[in-house]
Chain A
Amino acid sequence: MIGISYLQISLYLGALLMCIGVTLVITRRNLIMMLIGIELMLNASNLNLIAFGKKFGQTESHLFVLFILLVAAAEISIALALLIQFYKHFQSSHLEN
């Protein structure tokens, strides 16, 4: 036994992923990179939900994660439709130009 705690390592990894997502959303001005950052943040929240669900021995958190997955899929489809319209209008995917 190395003696590691799956819960703590998962929570640290979730914190790291959340910060990387925030960094991407703040520092990049490209729409697709911002979407990738949002996906990373959603994954960090999923990881935290699953980790705490294991700690307390519940499976309700799995259902919440399932709904988050579903909302993420809906969100990315709408965002890409908006991206296509944005690109048709401005011929670019950067927010500044």
Chain B
Amino acid sequence: MNLVDMVDIIFIAFVCLTAFAAFAIVLANQILQAAYWLLCTLLGIAGIFLFLGADFIAIAQVIAYVGGVLVLLLFGIMFVGADTATKRKTGRFSGLALASGLLLFLIWLVRLIPLCESEFYINTTLYDIGYQLLTNFLVPFEIAGILLLVALVSAVFISAKK
């Protein structure tokens, strides 16, 4: 077994972790369990980003999603109360039918894409991202900063209102 086989096996392991955790979110009985399975899903996606040659995005995924979004979600769950069961009986079959139809459609779409061989190389994207962020994407970068500021202030304002 050479190195390429090992890399492929690790990639498949990340894919299986992500898919299993995503199914576990749907099947979870409590919100807290769903949040922890979401943690597994996000970490698995970060690993897949590494295999797709996006090293900076993988780190940003771990920092922003696992460190920010998931902690905020857990805070919300703790605030509301983790006891609430999430099952809902009516309307489940229509949702499942719609989702499986969407899945079949997307699989049909993916099969239209020509297959390309797998290749794994580590080539850092950090310089390119930094260069693009300060030249071509400078205006969206600034607007994103303003958006974050406005979101922060308005979140404080909304949650502090009587």
Contact = CB atoms under 8 A, between A and B. Distances in A.
Interface in A7-38: 7-13, 15-20, 22-24, 26-30, 32-33, 35-36
Counting chain A CB atoms within 10 Å of each CB, the highest count among B8, B22, B102 belongs to B22
Counting chain B CB atoms within 10 Å of each CB, the highest count among A32, A54, A92 belongs to A32
Given A43-B42, A70-B144, A30 B73 contact: no
Interface of B: 4-5, 8-9, 11-12, 15, 18-19, 22-23, 25-26, 31, 34-35, 38, 41-42, 45, 48-49, 51-54, 56-57, 60-61, 64-65, 68-69, 72-73, 75-77, 79-81, 84, 86, 88, 91-92, 94-96, 98-100, 102-103, 106-107, 109-110, 113, 115-120, 125, 128-129, 132-133, 136-137, 140, 144, 147-148, 151-152, 154-156, 158-159, 161
Contacts of A11: 110, 113
B144 A67 contact: yes
A13 to B, nearest CB: 6
Given A6-B52, A53-B54, A70 B18 contact: no
